[in-house]
């Protein structure tokens, strides 16, 4: 059976670089920094002093005030991004197509802020003071649930939780749903609101976060001076659509999704497998799924977290998969500007990758001043680059050894 072709027809985002996808993309191309002082929690309590926070976002622009109170922030970001993506795609969902429109949105942590607040209420005032909305606000699938309610999308509905690979896995899995014929449209991506006391405490305790107090230079993927990632928040949502369905309604097309790979390291709960062995297999699987050879890839939006092992091993994995071509292709980490959005990262980065193909411009890796000798590829340092490419790849690697890769193609 011939595989159905899948294209991206709508994009929506709330990110540290802007409260919509276009602003986020334009600021990424301009090399703007979305990282600032940590304000959502008391920075004096932690060694990490900076974060990539969403700024000036008002959920009541998208959601009724009484409903806002029944949702965690990670769901606010997802609903807003999904509404923007569907509007951008000019898609109408009604009785004629609702059961063929699905939702697949993941979150790495879910409603951590809700959990903390409600646990405090429980400790101080007993179970009667815990909100009846506590569980439905906290569980990670509620972003997908609320988006389907808001949009009336009654098709395939799911949620992925694969730590920092969540956004990429979600889009990849949704792509497969359409490809095999179980839906015509999927609203998919990732969302996260992890800037809370307990998640900052946990990441500080396992020494994953940068201690650099300077927001301008704290996130510096592939740089010798890197010392950890900068925690971020937000959401990225794409509208995926079967090609003929999109053409029939005259939809605009950002890019085609052509390949997806997902693997497990089977190695360690937080550290990547040596030399990025699992990530290399995910990249190879995605290339094979796309039916192309590695030399066709012109650009990789790397996971590039600004942590010691990730950047070194992802570079090694790229060399393993691409051989000599590793030095011909461009690689960049937009986390140098957005920070690390955990479960939302791969989705926002998929949007950036699609835009890079559509507009013929590669976003830079900022703050790359002292290259690590182990990281010796072309990381598009410090300024965007105009170059037309046909195929691009986006990588995400998560705690638990989850690796996910998407291959996108310029649509012509």
SS in 3 state form for the chain?
Answer: CCCCCEEEEEEEEEECCECCHHHHHHHHHCCCCCCEECCCCCHHHCCCCEEECCCCCCHHHCCCHHHHCCCCHHHHHHHHHHHHHHHHHCCCCCCCCHHHEEEEEECCCCCHHHHHHHHHHHHHHCHHHCCCCHHHHHCCCHHHHHHHHHHCCCCCEECCCCHHHHHHHHHHHHHHHHHCCCCCEEEEEEEECCCCHHHHHHHHHCCCECCCCCCCCCCCCCECCCCCECEECEEEEEEEEEHHHHHHCCCCCCEEEEEEEEEECCCCCCCCCHHHHHHHHHHHHHHHHHCCCHHHEEEEECCCCCCHHHHHHHHHHHHHHHHHHHHCCEEECCHHHHCECHHHHHHHHHHHHHHHHHHCEECCECCCCCECCCCCCECCECCCEECCCCEEEEEEEECCCEEEEEEEECCC
CB 55 within 8 A of CB 232: no
CB 239 within 8 A of CB 89: yes
* Residues ≥6 apart with Cβ < 8 Å to 110: 72, 74, 138, 139, 140, 142, 161
End-to-end Cα, the chain, rounded Å: 24
pLDDT tens-digit map of 327-347:
999 999 999 999 999 999 999
Q: Which of 76, 340, 375, 402 is catalytic?
A: 340
d(CA 141, CA 151): 16
d(CA 219, CA 211): 10
Q: What pLDDT is attached to residue 246?
A: 98
- Of the candidates 167, 252, 276, 200, which has an alpha carbon nearest to the alpha carbon of residue 41? 200
**What are the distances in angstroms from CA 412 to CA 248, 256, 273, 296?**
16, 9, 38, 16
Q: What pLDDT is attached to residue 139?
A: 98
**Average pLDDT in the 83-92 region?**
98
pLDDT tens-digit map of 151-169:
999 999 999 999 999 999 9
User: Is 268 labeled as catalytic in the residue annotation?
Assistant: no
For domain 7-248, say whether CATH 3.30.420.480 is its number. Answer: no
- Give yes or no on whether 7-248 and 261-409 have one common fold: yes
Q: Which of 76, 159, 164, 375 is catalytic?
A: 164
**Average pLDDT in the 218-244 region?**
98
Report whether pLDDT(386) > 80.
yes
Q: Which of 76, 303, 375, 402 is catalytic?
A: 303
Indicate the pairing of strand 402-409 with strand 255-264: antiparallel
Any idea of the CA torsion for 336, 337, 340, 344, to the nearest 10 degrees? -130
Q: Hey, what CATH class is 261-409 in?
A: alpha beta
d(CA 279, CA 282): 5
User: Is 164 labeled as catalytic in the residue annotation?
Assistant: yes
Report whether pLDDT(1) > 80.
no
**Average pLDDT in the 44-49 region?**
98
User: Is 204 labeled as catalytic in the residue annotation?
Assistant: no
Q: What pLDDT is attached to residue 392?
A: 99
As beta bridge partners, residue 50 has 37
Q: What pLDDT is attached to residue 238?
A: 99
CB 327 within 8 A of CB 178: no
d(CA 326, CA 368): 19
Q: What pLDDT is attached to residue 2?
A: 80
Domain ranges of the chain: 7-248, 261-409
- Of the candidates 292, 283, 398, 284, which has an alpha carbon nearest to the alpha carbon of residue 346? 398
Question: What average pLDDT does the structure give for the chain?
Answer: 98
In our burial notation (b when 16+ CB lie closer than 10 A, e otherwise), range 295-315 reads ebbbbbbbbbbbbeebbbbbb
Report whether pLDDT(124) > 90.
yes
As beta bridge partners, residue 300 has 331, 393
């Amino acid at each position: 059976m011939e595989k159905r072709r899948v294209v991206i027809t709508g994009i929506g985002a709330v990110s540290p670089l802007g409260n919509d996808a276009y602003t986020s993309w334009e600021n990424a191309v301009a090399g703007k920094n979305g990282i600032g002082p940590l304000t959502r929690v008391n920075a004096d309590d932690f060694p990490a002093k900076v974060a990539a926070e969403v700024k000036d976002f008002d959920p009541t622009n998208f959601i009724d005030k009484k409903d806002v109170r029944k949702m965690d922030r990670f769901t606010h970001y997802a609903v807003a991004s999904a509404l923007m993506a569907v509007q951008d795609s000019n898609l109408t969902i009604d009785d004629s197509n609702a059961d063929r429109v699905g939702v697949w949105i993941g979150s790495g942590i879910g409603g951590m802020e809700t959990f903390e607040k409600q646990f405090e209420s429980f400790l101080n005032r007993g179970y009667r003071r815990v909100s009846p909305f506590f569980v439905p606000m906290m569980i990670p699938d509620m972003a997908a649930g609320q988006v389907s309610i808001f949009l009336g999308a009654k098709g395939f509905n799911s949620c992925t939780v694969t730590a920092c690979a969540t956004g990429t896995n979600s889009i990849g899995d949704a792509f497969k749903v359409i490809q095999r014929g179980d839906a015509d449209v999927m609203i998919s991506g990732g969302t996260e609101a992890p800037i809370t006391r307990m998640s900052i405490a946990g990441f500080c305790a396992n020494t994953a976060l940068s201690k650099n107090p300077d927001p301008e230079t704290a996130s510096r993927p592939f740089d010798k001076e890197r010392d950890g990632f900068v925690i971020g928040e937000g959401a990225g949502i794409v509208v995926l659509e079967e090609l003929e369905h999109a053409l029939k309604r005259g939809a605009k097309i950002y890019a085609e999704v052509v390949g997806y790979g997902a693997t497990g390291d089977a190695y360690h709960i937080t550290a990547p497998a040596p030399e990025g062995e699992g990530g290399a297999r995910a990249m190879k699987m995605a290339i094979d799924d796309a039916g192309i050879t590695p030399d066709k890839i012109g650009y990789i939006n790397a996971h590039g977290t600004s942590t010691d092992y990730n950047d070194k091993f992802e570079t090694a994995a790229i060399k393993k998969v691409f051989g000599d071509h590793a030095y011909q292709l461009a690689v960049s980490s937009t986390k140098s500007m957005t920070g690390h959005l955990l479960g939302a990262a791969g989705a926002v980065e998929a949007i950036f990758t699609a835009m890079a193909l559509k507009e013929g411009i590669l976003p830079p890796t900022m703050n790359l001043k002292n290259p690590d000798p182990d990281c010796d590829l072309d990381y598009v340092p410090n300024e965007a680059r105009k170059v037309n490419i046909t195929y691009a790849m986006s990588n995400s690697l998560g705690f638990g050894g989850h690796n996910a890769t998407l291959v996108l193609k310029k649509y012509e």
